[in-house]
Amino acid sequence: MNTLELKGGMIEMIANVNNPELLQNLYELIADTILQKTAEDYKLTPKQEAQLDADIKASFVPTNLVDHELALQKMSRWLNP
């Protein structure tokens, strides 16, 4: 099966489940699996970690912040395809 067929099959199976407890368990299992894979796939280099730390610190400086409306204007090309 290709990726699209697998996704469709999973969605179809889950759509037929009516047990809330089972759905919750499935949700947690899928979320945990995806998060684990994501964490392993995105290992940062020491340089990237240092840059991320610096950017996080910079985000706490009020003069670095952008007004919400201005941010929406700047992101409009992604928000309105």
Q: What tens digit of pLDDT does each residue of 1-39 get?
A: 789 989 999 999 999 999 999 999 999 999 888 877 666
d(CA 58, CA 17): 47
The contacts of residue 7 (CB under 8 Å, 6+ apart) are none
Question: 59 with 71: CB under 8 angstroms?
Answer: no
d(CA 9, CA 19): 18
d(CA 11, CA 13): 6
Model-level pTM?
Answer: 0.43
Q: What tens digit of pLDDT does each residue of 36-65 get?
A: 766 667 788 899 999 999 999 999 999 988
**Residue 54, CB-side half-sphere exposure with 13 Å CA sphere:** 6
